[in-house]
Structures are given as structure tokens and as C-alpha cells.
Amino acid sequence: MEPILAPESIDLIALAPVIVLSFFAMMVLVVDLFGGRNKTLLVFISLVGLLMTAISAFAKNPIPAYSFNDSYIVDHLSLFFICIFTISSALAILLSVEYNEREGIRAGEYYALILFCTIGMILLASSTDMIMIFLGIEIVSISLYVLTGIRRDNHRSNEAALKYFLLGAFATGFLLYGMTMVYGSTGSTNLFKIAEVVQNPSAQSNPLLLMGLVLLIIGFGFKVASVPFHMWAPDVYQGAPTPITAFMAVGPKAAAFAAFFRVFAETFPEMAPSWEILLSTIAVLSMFFGNLGAIMQTNIKRMLAFSSISHAGYILIAVIAKNSLGGSSLLFYMLAYAFTIFGLFGIIIILGRKGEENLEIENYSGLAYRHPILALSMTVFLLSLGGLPPFAGFIAKFYIFSAAIQQGLITLVIFAVLNSVISFYYYLKVVVFMYMKEPEAEFQISLTPLTLFVVFIGVFVTINMGIFPGSIIALASH
Amino acid sequence: MLENSVPLSHYLMLSATLFVIGVAGVLIRRNVIVVFMSIEIMLNAVNISLIAFDNYMNLSNGQIFSFMVMCVAAAEVSVGLAIIIALHRNKPSVNLDDFNLLKW
Amino acid sequence: MFLTLITFLPLIGALFLVFMPKESVAAIKQTALAVAVADFLLSIFLWTNFDNTSHKMQFELNVPWIEAWGINFHVGLDGISLLLYVMTTFLTMICVIASWDVKIHVREYMIAMLTLSTGMLGVFIALDLFMFYVFWEFQLIPMYIIIGVWGGPRRVYASIKFFLFTAVGSLLMLVAILWIYLHIQETTGVATADILYITEHLSAPLGTQKWLWMAFFLAFAIKVPMFPFHTWLPDAHVEAPTAGSVILAGVLLKMGTYGFLRFNLPFFPQASYEFVPMIAWLSIIGIIYGALVSMVQVDLKKLVAYSSVSHLGFVMLGIFALNPYGIQGALIQNINHGISTGALFLLVGIIYDRRHTRLISEFGGLAKIMPKYAICFMIVALSSIGLPGMNGFVGEFLILLGVFQVNGLWAACATSGVILAACYILWMFQRVMFLEVKNPKNMNLKDMNVREMFTVVPLIILIFWIGLYPKPFMDTFDASVTHLVSKVNPDNFRPKQEHHDNDHNDKQNEKHGEHARLITPTEMASLNHTLQMPALIKE
Amino acid sequence: MLLKLTCLIPLFPLIGSIINGFFGLKIGKKAVGFIACGSMTLSFLTSVLVYVGYLMLPEGQHVYEQVVWTWFGASDFNVDFGFQVDPLTLVMIFVVTGIGLIIHVYAVGYMQEEFSYYRFFAYFNLFVSAMLLLVMGNNFLLMFIGWEGVGLCSYFLIGYYFEKKSACDAGTKAFIVNRVGDFAFLLAVMYIFNIFGTIDFTEVMHAAPEKLIYAGEAVTIITMLLFVGATGKSAQIPLYTWLPDAMEGPTPVSALIHAATMVTAGVYMLVRCSVLFNLSPMTMTVVAFIGGGTAIMAATIGMTQFDIKRVLAYSTVSQIGYMFMACGVGAYTAAIFHLVTHAFFKACLFLGSGSVIHGIHGEQDMRKMGGLKKHMPITYWTFLISALTIAGIPPLAGFFSKDEVLYHSLMDGNIIFWGMGISAALLTAFYMFRLVFMTFHGESRVDPSVHPHESPKMMTMPLVVLAGLATVGGMLGLPFLHGWHILHNWLEPVLHFDLANALQHSEHMLHEAGRHAPSWAHLLEPKEHNGWIEFALMVFSTVVAITGVVGAYIFYIKRPDLPEKFTQGQWGLDMVQNKYYVDELYDDVFVKPTVEGSNLLWKECDAKAIDGAVNGAAKTIGWFSRQAQTLQSGFVRNYALFIVVGFISLLLAMF
């Protein structure tokens, strides 16, 4: 047996973000023990931790750099993703502060769990080894199980957690089994080595490997909530606390896509003929089911859950395109998506109040004339999600589609654009209620500053990335 | 080393059978705990094949992997049971089909 | 820079309005009007500084926008877009005046109107495909809001239909745009979406051209709207508030025809040529179908909406005549339709404001009660049916003339639309304006007030101006059209064939003159025989 | 330099119209009348000056063109807003401004009681302006402005009493039927441009023999289309139905528009394009047939009508039929001659009937008239003179013009045309005098409460003038003084046509195209003017006319019971009285199917099929959406099942 780990291959600087964040996460836990009921300090520590993480991510230079026997990588993709993760976690924390107070969520581990989850995401985006990927996924998942069910007294929250947990574990089984098969057929868990092995045409037709790929697709497909492994998403999104829903829709999803991209687009590009059609089908089905499911929804969180399923379909196109344009478009899309989603959920949180979250779309009737700015922001977010210029969502879609067309995937793109039309319908439905219906009942809302701040950032970035996307594109397409 | 005594395919078959049993358990059983156990069976099926591969191809990664799987499984168990307990407080039932508040 | 300023001025105005207090309605209206008027005057300044003799883009500005993709903020005007641009600012101004009586959410209304203006102006000046698409989709939103918030009872249905219909087409166009963008990058090595560059360098096999053409076609055909993609239009028009209808008819539909001229023709000349028969027949069906259907409408706005389908059929037919007569006719008809139909919608809006109904059967005898209104309505209606001396005729005739050069049968079919136009307009006019006043609610209607006159009279002046002396208008696009036609001339693609011209001496007249054909001798003989008549010339 | 004034001729009435239209209500009736008549007078005087100017043109120049501005154009197509003055135009200008002025004066009296007096004169002046454009335009499109303009004014004036449904319907009908003609006219113009590259009259007529093949397809189609256009405006078969209905308008309107000027525009157009028509024997034949047929058919209907104005309307249709027949046999001078005389006597007849209607307070039914001679002598005498003129009694104007038409229809056409013409003449004499006798002679059947009275001077003076013109108008073309036929010589430059030259060009063109030209030699045989035949025909037609008059006398004065007896139980009468059911036929064949078809198109095709497809797509998506929703059952095991199903399908797809 060869030595598993050569000491010289351990590069802690490359690992700095994970270490920093772990430190801060544990600090949150410890401080919480002494902090009493006031969670402000925890929030502060968490935010600082995320900031430090983001900064420390750039400590490693030059990139790409490898660590732990090439099972951990610092490259452009992972750096960009780390930024997305820290941003989304920070925004989720900001959204949570006032929400938790309102809803009576006093658990201090809440913030620690978000941070731990972030660690998992960073690992997931940076790992080049299947073991690492597995660990990353599990760290993310387990944190999320808890976060989903953190409102212990809330039946829906509990049920969502249970569903998420059972199905997540179930899917993990598939993922693991797939990894095992890939491992068994290639003899390695390291993605680089696997990639080398599958250069060989005879290895490509190994049924064990193909079976493993299918199982991997299931595992990742579950994490990104693509059809037919999406069924958990609407229930969980609906049941989870709103900030966590937003967080789930962005961070873990992005992380899963990062891994998805690493495994399929970077490790198995030679085998594209065998998985391309599968992923394409899944992508198209995701778009259709996501959009069709969303049309009839009356609960906005549930609707957004379905919408996120359809977005998974769009993003899968980037994976299928498996070119550098695909990678950078994935980055851009996730970033744009993050700001839009957090802004949107920010508004949803603002519009709720204790005991009555006002999640039915009908509750938004006449919003435009009570709180025009909020309604306008909401419109901006929805249209951005729909992919309408001049908002970030449009550029993101444009980016992904151009990656696909460069790869000759025109049919897929046509499916995607037709689905965009369907999606306009339900996004506009919300606009209809906000602008074109008279308010049904008076409801008081409290314009909480932190949440408003998130909304503001969301609007600003969504528009800014829509009109002046140049700098971000330049970063993404490095 | 039990070389050549039992061929790899046997292990794999065993693992596959266990996996399918686990899957079937998840699909068929209604008791939350039993479903949970079925999932554990699936994970252990994976472990078996991991070890088998390692053994027959003279590798080590798989063994480490299986340790990881076990750790994670343990963590999952703790979280999972916690969730089930929390749920049980709200609604005293372990029948999965009773948890049907979120749908459509 | 100047052009950019004019384009974004309304948006800046809208942003300014955002910060005005909701309650100061008067100030909001005045501000909006000031912005619109200023914008119009500035655009007039563009027109006066426009060099008619050149087909090149003018007032150009080309600055990098998304450098990573080679996408530039490239704007400019040429003859094809200039008038549409000016008309947009003009109609925006008219619409702000016409919307003076908006009761609810005045501030939001004006914001939407001004934003819409910027969106539309952007479409006409964009010289980068990406930018074009951005503006093209962007203007949907304010229009959607205008229909949906200030519209009639079925406004939600209409607004969503409008939005989705347009979106279907434009998203497929997006795919084509992407394809072109990547193709250009592949073939020339330059990453750019510059329209001028693409026009010159795009070369794709005919099969591909056709697909791309179809994608663009769908987007623009829905916008125009051509039969059978027109059903969003009646709903949108009927439900939209008056100003919305005016803008919709006056500018939004023109974006479709503009698209054909800016993209389909120069990008894919050969595909365009191949598709001429299809377009021609669709247009002809549209002309006749629109006229027939509008004849039996019971709702005034719906009638005008269907008449738009008919009129735009003419425009499309003219564009695809692919000769200078047809295209120039189509361009001027674009303007004409904006003026006439815009004015018709304004006028319908005026009685709608008074009676809150648009059903033709509710009216009758208005000529006696509202004489000024009746005169205005008559003039506009006549312009709409293309009475010579008014604007509609100039465009229609040029279009038909152009089509006739291509195919006499098409011209004949299209010309029959002229008869039908008279039918539906006059019948409607009779039922609304003439006869006795039967409905007591109509007895005390007030005639048009000064503000309403302000909205309609400028349009009427234009009706006569273009009808009698269209030269200042037509001169603007002369050079551009000549340039365009030289690119899309069917002779470039047709297999060369022998011309039997009668006049061999005069080369200039070569394309005119009869090709030798006779009535068959038997026909002649039998005719002469039955009449026992030696054919006859005396005097 | 006097010719520079040309553009003022149509401008004066236009200005008058604008002033009256916008300020008419404020300035009062007197001023309105003054402005209307004043503008007409100015226009007439200017015409005289232009005429003088024209006479001073240098030898050999027959046409004066004045381009005011370039109207519109594209590429090599350019239309000028230009006027031309040539002999034909001058004739028409004088007819329009002269008779227009007279009728304006009459209308000032006739319309005195109307509230919207100003509106009437605004339209009336506008009409004259448009009519002048029509006859003065130097190209087809400018003519078309006038062409549509007069149609529009006609629409307004027919529908002048817009509160009456019948008036509105009549106006709309007139406009739409005219549009059918315009449709053909427009196509013709396009075809002309296609062939000649210009639509200027002078250039087209000059180039026609060189660019068109004799009896070729192009010229036949062009002339046919032009002729269809003419039938619309001039109320010929098959588009005549609007004219009788047009009598809903005030009587001066009928006189000016529907008798003297507008309806003859078709004839003017044919004469203007005589060169083209000369090249197409087939069209010529059709024109002659339609003309002759219309003349007879309208005359038969005219015999059975009781509405005084309708009789005159059918008479107009019939007389215009004559003019077309003349055109059809190539006797353009005769057509114009008859046009001019017809303008005199028919205007007089209409104004006379207006005077009658005015005198008995709006009654138009002849069965409620009778014995009016003593109440309104001036009206009677002028009416009688005009009736004699139209009947063709020498030496009144109508005799000469009608006779010239008949002579040419026999000599240049054939016996069929002449037969048509002469029988129409018989019928004309009969129904005109039926009208005269029923209105002015016999016992009074007037409603006793009404006291018939003579009209004021303002109205009778125009009658006298017109009757005078009808009497002496024949001087324009005295038959015996051959070579002294004033009108013929005057129009010669316009109508000049060198057939031999045209045939030669055609042959050349056919050879170029590799076709063989048929033998055209017989066309060039010279024809002699036979004075004796002409004389014989004159005598014959005089006899015919007198027979008609006497017949009417017997039927309506001597034996008033005869008409009843003759027509008792005749199915034919019913048919004729109902105008051959043409209106009903058109209604059933064109109007109803169009309206019903459109309804069908709208409700079935548009709403159900096309929009149904759109909404159907939306509904389908909605249905799928509900299905997708029900999949989301909320049961965890279901969700797990989905994962497994997905797994199995992926496996199947993979292998």
C-alpha cells in the first residue's frame, strides 16, 4: 500500500478559508454559551468570520494550488464560489436576525450551523476527490437538516426537516453507491486520476462506470433539486424558516453545482456522449416540471421552490455545455441568482409578521400602492428571475445560452427559452397581484433595517449586474 | 488476505442485494424508524462494496471512505433521531404517512 | 452623446418623478409633460441636423459596454429609424397630454409612460444586437404595467397575453442572436454583436439563414402583428388605457416592421427573397382578414385594433416588395399608421371618457351633439382608409406600386383591402356619428375641450402635411432605402433571365414597357365575328 | 402669363370651403352664400382668363403644364402636384365652374331654410375644388385625388340629412361602390407605371403607341381596369346602383354632382385616355356594349319610377350610357359634346324638379303632383325646354349631340349599337314626357293643404340661364357644317391618334419578341364621312323622339287609364319597377355574405380557432400544471419512489 497522505502535500494556506471559518463557527458556539439571550454578538462574529474567510481565500497565490494529495484545489472556480458562499451566508444571516427575533428562534447554534454549512460548501466547491465531495455534501446536508427543523415547535418546519432528512439520506445512499462504482471501475477516488483513466476508450464503456455515473447523477441531481429528484424541494422550502429557504436555494445549490460541474464537465468530458443525453433530459424535465408546478401555486415560497427547480434545469445547461464558457456562466448565474433570491426573500420576510407570515400571493394585493418601493423591488427580482433585461437574470441566461449554443445545444436552448415564457406567467402573476389588484385586507408591516438593507443590496446588484455586467463577467471568465 | 476464496462479484452481488433491500424498505415501510434503518442498510451495502474493491484491487482509499461513511452515518443518525423526536412532540406518531401537511 | 441624452431623458425624468410626493398630482403631470416636450423638441433638433443624403448612421456613439463579450453601447440613427424615433417622442408627448385625466396612481402612470418612452427610443437607436434585445424586452415591462393597471375590465388577461405573446417570439430571436454572435466570432474572429458589422460580415448557408430568418420573423411578426399572430392585439388595445393604445399602435407595432428592415432584410437577403411569397400571402390575408373582421366588430377599439392588422399588412407587403417604392411606402405608412390609428384611439378615448363605453350600438347621432369631434373623427377616419390628399394614400399607393412590380395578383388582392377599409370605417362612422340621437345618455355630451384638441389637432395637421407634401418626411429615408435595396435586390439572387424589352434604345427605361403578349388570335377573331365589326378608329 | 393663374381655379373654391366650414356658423347665412358664390365666380373668371391665356399659346403647343410642387415619390417614381391646360380640360373647366356657379346661386335660394347651411356650402365648394382637380390634374394620381375627393363630397352631400337612415345608407353605398371602381383605377395606374415608368398624362399618351402592342394584353387590362373605374364613378352597369339612391341628397347636389359634373368624370377619363383605348379594340367593344346596355336598361327603369328625382337619376344613367357608347365606338368628340349638352339640360331638369319640390313643400312623388303648370310657369317652361332637348327634338342642343352619337355608333360601330341607341332615345322621349305630363299637366293631385307656388328669383334665374344654354348649346357641333364642327376642331389636339404608326410599332415589338403579328391592314382603310346617311338618321331619330313624346301624351294626358291596362298582370313590369332586383341581388351576393362571412370569420376563425389555439396552449399548460401538482402528494415514500423510478429510467436510458 502506498502512503495515503504525504505530509508535504498538506498545504494549510490553501485550506485557510476552511480553517478560518471553522474557527469562527466554533467561536460562535462557545460565545453562545455565555452570551445569554442577546444574539447580536453572534451575528457580528459570524459576519466577521465570513469576511475573514473570503479574504483568506485569496491568501493562496498563485493558483491553481493543490493540497491534501490533490484532493483539495484552489482555483478560479473555487475562489469565485467561495465568494458566492460567503456572500450568501452573510446575506442569510442578515436576513435571519430580525426574522428570528420575530419568530422566536433563539437558538444560538443557528448561526454556527450556517457557518458550518458554509464550510461544507467550500469543501464541496474545492474538492477534487470523491471522499471530499461526499464529506462536503454531508456537512452541508446535516447542517441544513437541522436548520430546516430549527423551529422545533412548528409542525411544518419539523415535517420539512423530516422529509428533507429522509430523502437526503436516501439520495446520499445512491450517491455513495455511485462513487463506489466509479471508484471500483477506475481504482481511484481522485478526480484527476479518474480523468486520466477515462481517457482510455475501453474504460469508458465499463458498465460499472456507467452505472456509477447514473448513480452520481441521482445524488447530485437530488442536491440541486432537479427532476425527478426534486420532490423534496417544494415541501422543504415551504416548511423551512424563510431565511433558510433563501439560503438553501442559493448556497448549497451552488455548491452542489460546483461539484456537479467538477465531476461531470471536468472529469468525464470524454464520456459526454453517454451522460449528455441523460442530463439534457433531466434539464428539460426540470424546467418543465418546475415551471408547470409553479404556475398553480398560491404560496409564494412554494412557487419559488418550483421556480428554483426550473432554474436548476437552466443551470444544468451550463454543466452540459462543459466548456469554459459553461463554467464561467455557471459562476455568473449563481452570483446573480444569489442576490436576486436573497432580495426577494428579504421582501417576503418584511411582508410577514409574527404568527402570520403572509405567504399567500393574494396577500400581496395592492402592495404597489402601499409600499411602492418594495413592490418595485419585488418586480425587479421576479423579472430578473424570469430573465428579462436589463436585470442580472437576463445576462446570466444569455451567458448560459451562449455557452450552450457554442456547444451546438440549440434544441436545449430552445426548450429553455420556451420555458422562460411559461415562467414569465407566474412571475407576472405576483406582479399582477401587487399592481393590478386592490388590497384585500390591511396589514401592517415593520420595515426592519437589516432586512431592508439586504433587499437594497439585492436590487442594487441585480440591476447593476444587469446593466454593467462587464466587471463580473471579466472575473467569472478568467 | 482471503485471496481467490470468494470472487469479487459475490461481494458486489451481496452489496447490491443489500442496497436493493434498503431501497425497498424505504419504499415499503411506513414506520419512520424502519425507513431510517433501511437507509442505514443502503449505506452499509456501499461500505461492503468499498471494502471489497479495496481488497481485490489492493487499494486503501475505499477503506478510508468507508470509515467516513460510517462517521457520517453516525452523525446522520443523531440528527435524524433528533428530528424524529421533535416531530413526535408535535404529533405523536411514527407513521410516515401521517406527515402530510406540506403538499401540492 | 446627444442622441443618448435624448433617449435617456425620459428615464431620468421618470427617476425624478419617483422622488416627488405622490399627492402633488399637478406638479407630477407638469413635470412629465415638460420632460416629454423637451424630449420632443430635442428630437426635432436631431431631425433638422440629419443629413438626408447619406445612408450612414448618424449621431453615432460607440463605447464599450461589456468588454469581455465585445458588446458595445453603440447607438445611431439612419433614415430608417429617424422618423420612427421622432414619432416616438412626439406620441409620448401627445400621450402625456391625453393622459391628463388619469385618476388613479398618477405618479406611477407618468413614470411608466416615460420609462416606456426610453425603452422604445432605445430600440430604434440600438446598433448592437445585444443592446437592441435589451431595449426590445425592456419596453415590455412598462407597457405591461400600463395595460394591466390602468386598463379596462379584462386588463390582466390582456396584459399577460401581450407580454407572453411577445416574449415567445423575442426569446426565439434571442437564440438566433446568440447564434449569430457566436458565428461571427467563429468566422471573423471578432467577438461583436455590432449590427453594422454583422450586416457586412454575416455569411451563412441558405438553410441556416432560413432558420435564423424564421426566428427573427417570429419575433417581429408577433409584434407587427401579422396574421395569424395577431390575437393579442385586439385584447391589448381594447383593455389598454387610451394613451396605451396610442403608443401601442403608434410605436410598438412599428418596432416589428422596423425589425424586419433592420435585421431580416440586411442580415439574410437571400432568405428574405425566398420567403417573399409567404410574407406576401400572410400580409394579404392579414389585410383582407383584418378588414373583414373589423367590419363586424361591436366595440370601437376592437374595430380600430383589427384595422391595424389590416394596415400593418400593407406595411409588411411593402417591405417585402424589396424595391424602393414598396419600402419607402412601407416606411411612410409606418408613420401614417401611427398618426391615423393613434388619432383614432385618442378619439375613441374621448368618448369613452364621457360615456364609459365603447360599444358602437350605444352611440349614434354624435355629429349633431359634438360637431368638432365629428369633424376630427371624420378626417382621421378618412386618412385611415387612405383617401388621396391625406397621409394614408401616399403610403398605400407606394406600397401597392411596389408590390405591383413584383406581382400583379398580390397587388390586386391587397388593393381590395382599400374597398373593405371604406366599408368598415364608413359603416362605423355612420353608426356612431350619423342617424338620430336615440340614446338619451348621449344628449348632453360635451364637445372636445381645449386639451383634447391639443392632442388631436397636431395629428390632423400631420395627416394633411404628409398627405399633400410628404417630401420632408420621405427625403429622410431616401438614401437609406436606396442603400438597403441595393443589398436585398432580388436580382442579386434570381437566375439571370432574358428580358424582351420594347425599348432597346433607352436603357434607363429598360424595366418598363410591355412584354410582347397578345390576346389570343382566336379570342379576337371570335369577338370581331360576333360583332361583325371592323375595328374602329375614327376622329 | 395668364396661364400662371391656372392653379387658382381650384384654389378659390377650396378657400371658400375652408372659410365656410370653419367659420360658417359664426358669419351667418348671407356671408356664407356670398363666399360660396363669390369663390365660384372668381374661379369662373379665372377660367376665362386662363382660356384667353391658352389662346395666346404659340402655334403648335397644345398643352400647358403647371407644376406646383412635387407631391411624392420614391426612386424613379415621382408624382407632381401639377395642372395641365389643354382643350379637353378647358371644356371641362367651363362646364364645372360655369354650371357650378349657376347651381351655387340656385342653392343659395334652395337651402335658405336649412340650419347647417354653412356645412352644405362647405361641402359644395369643396366638391367643385375636387372636381377641378380631377379635370385639371396632369397625371393619373392627381386626377385620383379629385376622383376620390368628389366621391367624398358626394358622400357627405348625399348624407347631408344625416339623421335619416336612408340618406346615410345611400351615402355610404355611393362611396363604397365608387371605391370598387377606384380599386380598378388604382390597379390601372400601377400597371401604367409598370409599363411606362411615368403616370403623367402627356408622357403616357405620347409613349403609348410605342410601348404598347395593339390589342395586346397589357393595354387591354389597363383599359379594362380604367373602364371599371369609370363605371363606378359614372354609374354604369354593373356599378350604377348607387346613383338612384344618391337622390337622398338635396336637389342642387343632384343637379351639380349627380347630373352635370361628377358622374361624367368617367367619360372625361376615357376621353383623356383615348389613346390607350384606341389601342384595345376589345375594351372598346366592351365599353360600347356596356354604354348601350346601360342606356336601355336605365331608360326602362326610368319609365316605371314615380319619384321625380329618381326618374331623372335613371335618365342620367341612361344618358351617360350614351356617352360611353360614343367612346366605345371611338367617337370621343360626340361623347364630350353630349357631356356638355347633358350638363346643361340635366342640370336644368334637376333644378326644375327641385323648384317643383320646393314649391310643394318637399313632395317628390309624381302621383301627388299634376297641373303645376299654372302655379309655376317659369319652372314649367324651362323644364319643358330641357325635356325637349333631352328627347332630341331639333334644333335644341340635345338633338345634335345625341344624333352625333347615333351616327357614329352606326358608322364606326355597328347596327347593334345604333339599335340600342335609338331604342333608348325612344324610351327617353317617352319617360321624360311622362314626367312632364304627370307633373305639370292634367289634374292636380297635390295634397290640398299644400299651396304650390313659384320659387324665388334666386332659383328661377339659374333655370332660365340653363334652359337658354340647353337651347343654343348645339352650336358647338353643327353636323352639316362639316369642318366647322367647333368642338371637333377644338379637341383635335387631344384626340389625335396615328393608328398606322401604332400598328407599325406593335408589329416591330412583336417581331422582337419572336411573335408573328396578325394582319391589321383592314384597320387602316380610310372612311368617308357620309352626309346623306347622317341626314337620314337625323330625320329618323327626330321621328322617333316625336313618337316618344306623342306616346307619352296619349298615355298620360289623353287616356290616363292606358298605363294601368298595359301593365296589368305583366311580370315584366314588376321586375322593371323593382329595378331588375339588382340591388337585392347585390345585397344577397355581396353584402350579406360579406357581413355574415366576416361574422363567421371573427367568431369562429379569430375567436375560436386562432385565439382558441393561443388560449388552448395556455389551458394545456394549465392542465399539465395541475397534473404536475398532483404528483406532489406530500408522502415521503412517494418522493422516494420518484427517485427510484428516475434511477431506473436513467439506467434504461444509459444502457
Specify the CATH number for the domain of residue B69.
1.10.287.3510
D546: exposed, middle or buried (C-beta count within 10 Å: 0-12, 13-18, 19+)? Answer: middle
**Three state DSSP letters for chain A:** CCCCCCHHHCCCCCCHHHHHHHHHHHHHHHHHHHHCCCCHHHHHHHHHHHHHHHHHHCCCCCCCEEECCCCEEECHHHHHHHHHHHHHHHHHHHHHHHHHHHHCCCCCHHHHHHHHHHHHHHHHHHECEHHHHHHHHHHHHHHHHHHHCCCCCCHHHHHHHHHHHHHHHHHHHHHHHHHHHHHHHHCCCEHHHHHHHCCCHHHHCCHHHHHHHHHHHHHHHHHCCCCCCCCHHHHHHHHCCHHHHHHHHHHHHHHHHHHHHHHHHHHCHHHHHHHHHHHHHHHHHHHHHHHHHHHCCCEHHHHHHHHHHHHHHHHHHHHHHCCHHHHHHHHHHHHHHHHHHHHHHHHHHHHCECCECCCEHHHHCCHHHHCHHHHHHHHHHHHHHHCCCCCHHHHHHHHHHHHHHHCCCHHHHHHHHHHHHHHHHHHHHHHHHHHHCCCCCCCCCCCCHHHHHHHHHHHHHHHHHHHCCHHHHHHHCC
Helix (H) / strand (E) element for D632: namely none
∠ CA D194-D198-D200, rounded to 5°? 135
Chain D partners (3+ C-beta pairs within 8 A): A, B, C
- Out of B23, B72, B101, closest to residue A138 by CB: B72
Mapping DSSP to helix (H, G, I), strand (E, B) and coil, where does residue C261 land? helix
Chain D residue at shortest CA distance from A227:
D646
Cα–Cα dist D113/D105, whole Å: 15
Chain C residue at shortest CA distance from D156:
C378
Q: What's the gap in Å between the CA of A92 and the closest CA on chain D?
A: 27
What number is the average pLDDT over the span A372-398?
Answer: 91
* In-domain check, residue B78: yes
- What is the reported pLDDT for C329? 92
Average pLDDT over all residues of chain B: 88
Cα–Cα dist A129/D615, whole Å: 51
- What is the reported pLDDT for C512? 56
Cα–Cα dist C505/C528, whole Å: 35
Q: pLDDT digits over C139-192, tens only?
A: 899 999 999 989 888 888 999 999 998 988 888 999 999 999 999 988 988 888
D416 part of contact set with chain C, CB < 8 Å: yes
Torsion-angle region of C469 (φ positive above 0: left; ψ -120 to 50: alpha; else: beta): beta
Is residue C95 pLDDT above 70, yes or no? yes
Cα–Cα dist A274/A280, whole Å: 11
Q: pLDDT digits over C188-231, tens only?
A: 888 888 999 998 888 888 889 999 999 999 999 999 888 889 88
What number is the average pLDDT over the span C34-62?
Answer: 91
- What is the reported pLDDT for B23? 93
- What is the reported pLDDT for C175? 92
User: CA quadruple A14, A20, A23, A26: dihedral positive or negative?
Assistant: negative
Residue window 307-326, chain C: list those with CB within 8 Å of chain D.
323-325
- What is the reported pLDDT for C510? 45
**φ, ψ for residue D73 (rounded to 5)?**
180, 170
- Out of D625, D636, D642, closest to residue A228 by CB: D642
Chain D residue at shortest CA distance from B97:
D635
Q: Do C168 and A421 touch (CB under 8 A)?
A: yes
* In-domain check, residue B83: yes
Average pLDDT over all residues of chain D: 86
- What is the reported pLDDT for C498? 46
D547: exposed, middle or buried (C-beta count within 10 Å: 0-12, 13-18, 19+)? Answer: middle
Q: Helix crossing, C232-239 with C155-188: angle to 10°? A: 130
Chain A partners (3+ C-beta pairs within 8 A): B, C, D
User: Which residues of B make CB contacts under 8 Å with D?
Assistant: 23, 26-28, 30, 35, 96-97, 99-104
Q: What's the gap in Å between the CA of C84 and the closest CA on chain D?
A: 18
Would you state the cell numbers that stand for residue C426, as one nine-digit string? 364608413
* In-domain check, residue B8: no
- Between D384 and C521, whose confidence is greater? D384
The range of the structural domain enclosing residue B69 comes to: 31-98
Residue among D619, D623, D636, D637 with most chain A CBs within 10 A, to mutate: D636
Cβ contacts of A154 on chain B, cutoff 8 Å: 90
Cα–Cα dist C407/C490, whole Å: 13
Lowest mean pLDDT among A1-15, A450-464, C69-83, D247-261: A1-15
Q: pLDDT digits over D542-579, tens only?
A: 888 888 888 888 888 777 777 777 776 677 777 777 77
- What is the reported pLDDT for D245? 86
- What is the reported pLDDT for C535? 42
Query: Cell numbers 394545456 label which residue?
Result: D620
Lowest mean pLDDT among A398-412, D503-517, D619-633: D503-517
Q: What is the dihedral of CA A411, A417, A420, A422, to 10 degrees?
A: -70
- What is the reported pLDDT for C508? 39
D630 part of contact set with chain B, CB < 8 Å: yes
Residue window 628-647, chain D: list those with CB within 8 Å of chain A.
628-629, 631-632, 634, 636, 638-640, 642-643, 645-647
C325 part of contact set with chain A, CB < 8 Å: no
A286 part of contact set with chain B, CB < 8 Å: no
Q: Do A410 and C179 touch (CB under 8 A)?
A: yes
Q: Do B103 and D636 touch (CB under 8 A)?
A: no
Q: pLDDT digits over C230-282, tens only?
A: 889 999 999 999 999 999 999 999 999 999 999 999 999 888 988 999 999 99
Per the structure, the count of domains in chain B is 1
B42 part of contact set with chain A, CB < 8 Å: yes
Lowest mean pLDDT among D207-211, D324-328, D385-389: D207-211
Would you state the cell numbers that stand for residue D578, as one nine-digit string? 323593382
Q: pLDDT digits over A187-200, tens only?
A: 888 999 999 988 88
Cβ contacts of D636 on chain A, cutoff 8 Å: 162-163, 166-167
What number is the average pLDDT over the span B73-100?
Answer: 87
Chain C residue at shortest CA distance from D618:
C161
Torsion-angle region of A69 (φ positive above 0: left; ψ -120 to 50: alpha; else: beta): left
What number is the average pLDDT over the span D111-121?
Answer: 83
A235 part of contact set with chain D, CB < 8 Å: yes
Residue among D289, D498, D606, D610 with most chain C CBs within 10 A, to mutate: D606
Torsion-angle region of A66 (φ positive above 0: left; ψ -120 to 50: alpha; else: beta): beta
* In-domain check, residue B7: no
The ipTM, to two decimals, is: 0.89
Structural contact between residues C317 and C213, judged by C-beta atoms closer than 8 angstroms? no
* In-domain check, residue B56: yes
Q: Model confidence at D370, in pLDDT bands (50, 70, 90)?
A: confident
Q: Model confidence at A316, in pLDDT bands (50, 70, 90)?
A: very high
Q: What is the DSSP letter of D475?
A: G
* In-domain check, residue B87: yes
Q: Do A149 and B91 touch (CB under 8 A)?
A: no
Helix (H) / strand (E) element for B45: namely helix B32-57
- What is the reported pLDDT for D481? 55
Q: Model confidence at A7, in pLDDT bands (50, 70, 90)?
A: low
- Between A165 and D206, whose confidence is greater? A165
- What is the reported pLDDT for C284? 94
- What is the reported pLDDT for C534? 42
- What is the reported pLDDT for C218? 92
Cα–Cα dist A147/A238, whole Å: 13
- What is the reported pLDDT for A131? 92
Residue window 449-478, chain A: list those with CB within 8 Å of chain C.
468-470, 473-474, 477
- Out of C382, C388, C516, closest to residue D510 by CB: C516
Which residues are CB-contacts of D370 (< 8 A; sequence separation ≥ 6)?
D438, D439, D440, D441, D442, D443, D444, D445, D446
- What is the reported pLDDT for C437? 84
Structural contact between residues C70 and C192, judged by C-beta atoms closer than 8 angstroms? yes
Q: pLDDT digits over C493-513, tens only?
A: 665 544 444 444 443 344 555
* In-domain check, residue B43: yes
Q: What's the gap in Å between the CA of B79 and the closest CA on chain A?
A: 7
Cβ contacts of A402 on chain C, cutoff 8 Å: 178, 181-182
Q: Do D75 and C329 touch (CB under 8 A)?
A: no
Average pLDDT over all residues of chain C: 86
Q: What is the dihedral of CA A35, A36, A38, A41, to 10 degrees?
A: 0
* In-domain check, residue B9: no
- What is the reported pLDDT for D502? 83
- What is the reported pLDDT for C506? 41
Looking at chain D, the whole-number percentage of residues with pLDDT higher than 90 is 12
* DSSP labels, C70-119: TEEEEEEE-HHHHHHHHHHHHHHHHHHHHTTT--S-HHHHHHHHHHHHHH
Is residue C537 pLDDT above 50, yes or no? no
Q: What is the dihedral of CA D365, D366, D368, D372, to 10 degrees?
A: 130
Cα–Cα dist D101/D37, whole Å: 6
What number is the average pLDDT over the span D419-434?
Answer: 89
Buried b / exposed e across A118-150, counting CB within 10 Å, b at 16+? bbbbbbbbbbbbbbbbbbbbbbbbbbbbbbbbb
